[in-house]
Chain A
Amino acid sequence: MKNFQANLKTLEAADTQVLGVSMDSWFSNKAFADQIGVTFPLLSDWGGKVTREYGVYKDEYQAPRRVNFLIGKDGKIMEEQVDKDAIDPKKIVDACARPKLKN
């Protein structure tokens, strides 16, 4: 989450909203956000319905895997990063910056 926070200005400049999602309670997420200085919403998927709909639920953790989705303005998925690849969001930040270069 810190890595997205570090790139937040670039992402916002490219018309991109960042949303964190976990199966933690909303009050855990609030405390987490405050502790690490995250200013974008950390959403609580209590019960894991959305986590399962996105196919990222992992039995072993009883929680989501680490996965980033970039969703375009048309509602379609543009990029995905899974597990270790999802730690550094560079691919997604670059994808957001790309259309801007064309303008």
Chain B
Amino acid sequence: MHQKLAGALLLALLAMSPALFAQTMPKVGDMAPDFTLKYAAGDDLKEVKLSDYRGKKNVVLAFYVFAFTGG
């Protein structure tokens, strides 16, 4: 009985969005996942697409926890 329930729970979990699972960090040597994100420049909202830098510039991607915190 417990096993059946556990099995059903597992299936339910697997069916949920992969975004719910902690995904692993890409490793050194892996391709960096592409993205498009926005930022405010003056009064404008600008878009940055990672792959636009391909062949032109290195990119430092610095994730930080919250705005208005140190570091």
Contacts and interface: CB of A to CB of B under 8 A. Distances in A.
Interface residues of A, number: 63
A26 B40 contact: yes
Contacts of B33: 50, 53-54
A92 B60 CA distance: 8
Interface string A35-51: 10000011111000111
Interface residues of B, number: 42
B56 A68 contact: no
Contacts of A92: 60
A17 B51 CA distance: 12
A17 B19 contact: no
B37 interface: yes
Nearest to A55: B25
Interface in A44-71: 44-45, 49-57, 59, 61, 63-71
16 contacts: A16-B59, A18-B62, A21-B64, A32-B67, A43-B48, A53-B33, A53-B35, A54-B23, A61-B65, A66-B63, A69-B63, A71-B32, A73-B54, A73-B55, A75-B32, A87-B71
